[in-house]
Structure 1
């Protein structure tokens, strides 16, 4: 558990387990602790590198706007700092967007990519979710004081007084439109998409995402020879908020990371 100096930013990360490296990127207003419920299961097979993203947890950086692209560069810089030429990357929600941008911007660094509850375009969220995201600002931050996420932030952040600024920066990020469909279709590595069946993202968007990766287009055949390199998991009985803590998550992720897979294309 330590800091890495990357491009003028002190990024907090912690390591658990041994084996091939797996980078974990948490959701909005979270931290590396987000993965605590599934850490033991993942660390039994992998070397986990859990990161506090820019502006979150123990990592500062709120002196500039939050952007998925710059946070992806942070992750790439951390991998290079650690001397890792390639790693698997798993991102959840906000961290999923950062993981996806890392794969798009730095494909040589990402061996396999796992995206949990992450759309490929902003309009992939339900309309009511987009409306709630658009309202994130300093006033919302005040209403969120005393919640578990605020208590954690107040305990570990280098500047706990930046809680309202984090919400302002996050709101600015979440109101920005994006559509990465062309970049997704060109990804060179296998991708696992994981969604809850009661997610904040419609199952139809999950199917559209999978199709961009070459999935869901044809029968794999009796011997599975036409199976796509990427995979889709829709986990039953879960929501956007509890999917990351469910034992069903490592049960879906670990076989994907360890099973031989041909390259997409």
Structure 2
């Protein structure tokens, strides 16, 4: 059974849906998207899990409020939802912007994150290719008009409580994307078992993905025949995959479920 509802967190009416039952997994969509982007993925990862789809601030069925878009504040919203639902801990997985929000959730609220999955995101702004950063810099309210005749807008208009907020979303997303950031130190301090995934033709380079893994002490030694040389963290580069179809990769779900199903390390 699917349950759609709202949680009042940090002044926001945060929309979420619950699918299935079992160990909780929260899925966080990318910028300009909504929870619906995971529709094809749900059957592949939902067996034996309570999958919770979230519409982040200003996206999907969650109306915007009078605050800037911030990875940190959206992470606080996710942690607030985990608390309101009485989950204690949940696995948190995010794509692109949602991946950055998932990462900030683990950084700011490590006690509520059991395992972390980041797909096609960057832990510092320079991790995005220069051309991608140049495109991000051009985004603003003026962009909204040019996007009216697109599936992205039609999906937004069909779900948003206030479709007229479309230009505001673009303005706030532009401000967010132009911000410089570097979370290297916070990543290096993570204790939450983390899987970092990217496409081999993503908007970030495989080297950036490998650097994330290296910050977690991964890939620095032989794993040894019995795996005792491995860390609890994992890295996956999806072949023939771009930023725009990474969630649709047939390899994504098996890698994610294998990671989530593996026992937690003896100590964290």
The aligned residue for residue 254 of structure 2 is 251
The aligned residue for residue 146 of structure 1 is 149
Give 1:264 deviation, angstroms: 7.7
The aligned residue for residue 2 of structure 1 is 5
Aligned residue runs from structure 1 range 163-202, under 5 A: 163-202=166-205
From 224, 227, 249, the equivalent of 2:227 is 224
User: RMSD of the alignment, in Å?
Assistant: 1.1
From 156, 162, 165, the equivalent of 1:162 is 165
Q: How many residues align?
A: 265
Q: Deviations over 1:101-159 (max 9, x none)?
A: 00000000000000000111010000000011111111211111121111011011011
Task: Give yes or no for contact 1:229–1:264 (8 Å, CA) kept in 2.
Answer: no
Task: Give yes or no for contact 1:86–1:110 (8 Å, CA) kept in 2.
Answer: yes
Q: Per the alignment, in what secondary structure is the counterpart of residue 40 of structure 2?
A: helix
The aligned residue for residue 106 of structure 1 is 109
From 8, 17, 20, the equivalent of 1:17 is 20
Give 1:8 deviation, angstroms: 2.0
Distance 1:183 1:153 in 2: 33
Distance 2:53 2:179 in 1: 26
From 15, 36, 41, the equivalent of 1:38 is 41
The aligned residue for residue 262 of structure 1 is 265
The aligned residue for residue 123 of structure 2 is 120
Moved over 4 A (4+): none
Query: 1:240–1:106: structure 2 CA closer, same or farther, 3 Å change rule?
Result: same
Q: Per the alignment, in what secondary structure is the counterpart of residue 145 of structure 1?
A: coil
